[in-house]
Structure 1
Amino acid sequence: MMHEVVTVAAVFSAEEIMDITGARLALGLMPDESAEVHTDTRTLPEGAWYVALSGKKYDGHDFLGDAFSEGAIGCIVGERPAYAIASTSFPLLAVIDPLDALAKLAKHWREHVSPKVLVVMVNRSEERCPAGKFCYDDLQVKHRTEYLRLANEDTGAVLNAVLDVNEPTERLIVEISPTSFDHISKALSVLDPDVLVISKDGYDHFRMSCTQQEFNEGLNATFAWPDASKCTLIIATSAQDVVIRSDAFSGKKIIHEDDDHSEDPDIWAARKACAAI
C-alpha cells in the first residue's frame, strides 16, 4: 500500500528563533505558535514571521505596520531605539543584523533537512544555464529532489528559499548568480554544498567589475566556508581556473581541461556533478 509523504517547510517558535539567532524580545508578548519566516510583506502569509531586511532601495523596518496589518505573528528586526509600530503587544524580536539572523535560521533548517546539496553558479546575464535542469532531470528519477532557480535573486531571497525547502528532501539543486562576493560567500556558507559547479561563464561578472587583486581576494574569501574541504568543485572551462588552481579552494577539484570532452562544457559539468553527488 502506497503512503503519501507529508512534506513540511521550516517553522519556528519565538523561543527557537531566540535560541538560534540570539534575538531578544524588544517589544510585545511572546507568542506560543510556530510559523514560517518571510521577508516580503506583499506576499506575507497570515500568521508568518516577517524579517525586516534593509536593502539598497527600501528598509524593511518601514513596513512593520504592513506586517501587523497582514496578520504576521511577529517580526524579526534590527536593534533600534524605537520602531514604527503602534501596537505594544505585537512581538518584535531584535537582533544585531536581521540578514545574519535569517542566514542562521536557513542554516539551521538546511542542517535539519540534511539533503545532499548541489549549487550551480551561473553568470547573471545568461538566459539559462543547462546544468541545473540537466541535474534535476537526472537526480529526481531516484531521489526526492528540489530545484531552486535563484539566478539574479539577492541574498535575502536565496536564504528565504532555503527555508521553503520541504522535509523530506534528499537532493537540493540551487542555481544562483552571485551579485557580489559577499552574496555568494553567505549563500555558500548556508548551503554548505556537497558539489559546486562553476558554469562556463560563472563569475565573468566579477572579472568585469573589479581589479584582478580584488577578484583574487574576493574569490579566496568566497571559497573559505567552514566545510569547503568536503565539497567537490567542478569547473566547466579551464579559463575560470586562474585562482582555483591555487589554495583558494581546499576540496576536490574537477577541471574541464583535465578530462576528455566533446560536449557543451556546462552539460559536461552537470554529468560530473550527478556522478559526484
Structure 2
Amino acid sequence: MKKLCLTIKDFFQLKGAVLYDAERIRPVTKVSIDSRNVSPGSLFIAIKGDKFDGHNFVIDAVKKGAAAVLINSDKLSSCENIDVPIITVSDTTLALGELAAIWRKKLKTKIIGITGSTGKTTTKEILSTLLSGKYKVNKTLGNNNNHIGVPLTLFSTANRHDYLVLELGTNHFGEIKYTAEIAQPDYAIITNIGNSHLEFLKNRKGVFEEKAELFNVAESNKGTLFINNDDLILFNANKKYKKRITFGFEKQSDVEGEIIGYMEDGKPIVRINYVGNSSIYEVPLYGEQSAKNFLAAATVAFEIGLRTEEIKRRLRKTQAIDKRLNVQRFHNFILVNDTYNANPESMGMSLRLLSQIKEYNYRVAILGDMFELGKESKRLHGKLANILLKNKIDAVYTIGKFMKHLHLKLKSKNIEAVHFNNRESLKKFLTKKSFANSVVLVKGSRGMQMEEYAETIKLNNK
C-alpha cells in the first residue's frame, strides 16, 4: 500500500506560505513538532507553546534528518544557515491544522469522533479495544485531544488503519468546531453534557452548543451520530439529527442498557438489549460511569458490525487508564486513585463508587478543587455534601479554596470533616494517618496534583 505523503503541491495550499529552495522539496511521510522525535525525511513544524518555542530547536531537527522545516515568517532570519528547504507562514499552529486537513482528505480510514463532559477518554479506550480484535485501529494517545493533538493524531494515522478513534476536547468556544472540521468524522458520539469548563462555556447550554459542533460537522459529512438518551439536553436535541442511533439506561433507545448488579469488588454487570437480543456483560472497570462508557462504546461497535461474542471477548482485555478510577488493593485497605481531573458529574460518580465497594465499611474521600466552574464554583462544590451523606462517606478531607465551601456544609453533619489550607499540612496529616480497613478515594482537578497525596497514602500504609 502506497504511503500517504505531503507534497510541494500541498505546501503551496497553505495560507500565505512562502517556499524557499522549493525545487529541493520532496514528499514527506511524517510530520513532527518535537525535534527529539524527528526521523530522516520528515517535516518539522516549529510550534511556539507556553513553555517551549520550537523555533529554538530547528537546528536540532535538521541534524536529526528533517527534510524540510515549517516556521513562522518572522523567524526566517534565525534560520539563514539551515541547509534544507524552508516554508514560512504567519502562524505555524494554524498551518499544522491546515496540513492535517489535507492529510485527512487523503485518508481512507473511517474516523470516530468522541467528545463529552465526562467519560470521553475511557469510552475511546474501550471502543478501540473492542474494535482492534477485528480491525486495524489507531486512537488518540492519552488525552492528546486539542488543536495540536488532533492534527498530530491524524498524522499518525495511515491507510492501513480501518478506524481512528479520535478524542476531541475543549474548554473554550470554537475549539470543537475547529478540530472537527479538520477531522471530518464519519461517526460522532457525545458521551454527556455536564457542568464542565463553565468559566468559559458559561452554562450547560453553552457546553452543549460547543460539544454539538462535533455532531454538526459529522452530519454535514453524512456521518452517523450516536446520542445518549439519558442526557436530557442530548435527548431533547436528538430529533434534529437525521442519521442517528440512540442509547441509554433510562429511556427507550435503539440500544438499551441496564445495570443489573455489581460484582463484589464494585465492577458493574450490564445487560444490553439490541435488535431484540439480550446479553449480559461483566465490565472490567469500576463504577457507574464505566458502565455508561461501555454502553456508548458497545453501541458504536454494534453499528460497525461486531457481534455480541466478539464484544464480550474483547471487553475482557479492557484496562483502567492511569489516574482514572484506578482501584488498588493493599493488604488492609483499598485506594481509588481518580486524580486525573474532576468536574461535578465525575466527582459524584466517584463518590458513589465508594459505597459500591463492599470489602471495607469505612469510606474516606480526599478531595481537591474542581476548576473552571466560574460563578457556579461555590454552589457546585457545596452541593457535593448531599452526595457524600447519601453514600454514607465517613470522613472527608479537603483542600483548595473552593472545597472550603464543601467543608462548611459538612461541619454540622455527622461526618468527620477536616479542611487543610495548604499542601504541606495535608501531606503531613496523611503521612501519619492509618487507613486500615478503609476504602479511600483521592480526586480533584488536574491542577490540584492530587496524585501526590495518593502516593503519600501508598507509601505510608503498605
Shift of 1:153: 4.4
How far the C-alpha of 1:27 sits from its partner, in A, is 3.6
Corresponding residue number in structure 2 for 1:17: 10
Paired residues of 1:228 and 1:249 also in contact (CA < 8 A): no
Q: For 1:6-85, list aligned pairs within 5 A.
A: 8=3, 10-13=4-7, 15-22=8-15, 24-28=17-21, 30-35=23-28, 36-80=30-74, 82-85=76-79
Q: Secondary structure at the match of 1:107?
A: helix
Structure 2 partner of 1:119: 113
- Confirm whether residue 173 of structure 1 aligns to residue 165 of structure 2: yes
Q: Which residue of the partner structure matches residue 129 of structure 2?
A: 137
Listed one character per residue, the Cα deviations across residues 152-172 of structure 1 (whole Å, up to 9, x for unaligned) are 543223211211212222222
Q: Distance in 2 between matches of 1:167 and 1:271?
A: 24
Percent identity reads 17
Q: Distance in 1 between matches of 2:198 and 2:242?
A: 22
Change (3 A) 1:122 1:43: farther
Structure (1 or 2) with the greater strand fraction: 2
- Give 1:186-205 correspondences, 5 Å limit: 186-200=178-192, 204-205=195-196
> CA 1:127 to 1:192, structure 2 compared with 1: closer, same or farther past 3 Å?
closer
- Aligned residue in 2 for 1:271: 298
| CA 123–115 in structure 1, closer or farther in 2 if over 3 Å, else same | same
Instruction: Write the letter of the residue equivalent to 1:266.
Output: N
Change (3 A) 1:141 1:127: closer
Distance 1:19 1:247 in 2: 42
Q: What's 1:160 paired with?
A: 152
C-alpha spacing 1:26/1:104, structure 2 compared with 1 (3 Å) = closer
Q: 1:227 to 1:55 in 2, by over 3 A?
A: farther
8 Å contact kept, 2:76–2:88: no
Amino acid at match of 1:42: R
Map Cα deviations across residues 12-42 of structure 1 (whole Å, 9 max, x no partner): 23x1332442464354453243222111112
- Residue 237 of structure 2: SS of its match in structure 1? coil
SS of 2:24's equivalent in the other structure is: coil
Q: Over residues 157-216 of structure 1, what are the superposed CA-to-partner deviations in whole Å (9 max), with x where a residue is unaligned?
A: 32112112122222221234434444332221122112222224x664334653126445
- Give distance in 1, aligned partners of 2:209 and 2:132: 37
CA gap of 1:203–1:168, structure 2 versus 1, over 3 A, is: farther
Counterpart of 1:238 in 2: which secondary structure?
A: coil
Give the letter for the 1:112 counterpart: K
SS at match of 2:11: helix
**Cα distance, 1:273 vs. partner?**
1.0
Match of 2:422 in 1: none
Q: Structure 2 unaligned runs (5+)? A: 259-269, 271-290, 305-462
Q: Say how many residue pairs are matched.
A: 267
Please state whether the residue corresponding to 1:155 is helix, strand or coil. coil
Aligned to 1:167, the other structure's residue is in SS state: coil
Contact residue 149 and residue 176 of structure 1 kept, 8 A = no
C-alpha separation in 2, matches of 1:250 and 1:56: 41
Is 1:211 paired with 2:238?
A: no
Q: Is the 8 A contact 2:138 2:164 kept in 1?
A: yes
| 1:110 and 2:104 aligned | yes
Contact 2:19 2:86 in 1 (8 A): yes
Distance 1:226 1:167, change over 3 A: closer
The structure whose RCO (Cα within 8 Å, separation 6+) is larger is 1
C-alpha change, 1:238 and 1:206, in structure 2 (3 Å) is: farther
**2:330 aligns to what?**
none
Question: Would you say the 8 A contact 1:122–1:175 is kept in 2?
Answer: no
Cα 1:178–1:80 change in 2 (3 A) is: same
AA in 1 matched with 2:98: K
What is the root-mean-square deviation in Å for CA atoms of aligned residues? 3.4
How far the C-alpha of 1:104 sits from its partner, in A, is 2.6
- Structure-2 separation of matches of 1:241 and 1:110: 31
User: Is the CA contact (8 Å cut-off) linking 1:154 and 1:179 kept in structure 2?
Assistant: no
Q: State whether residues 121 and 167 of structure 2, in contact with CA within 8 Å, keep that contact through their aligned partners in structure 1.
A: no
Which stretch shifts more, 188-197 or 167-176? Answer: 167-176
- Structure 2 counterpart of 1:185: 177
Alpha-carbon distance in structure 1 between the residues aligned to 2:235 and 2:198: 12
Which structure has the bigger radius of gyration? 2
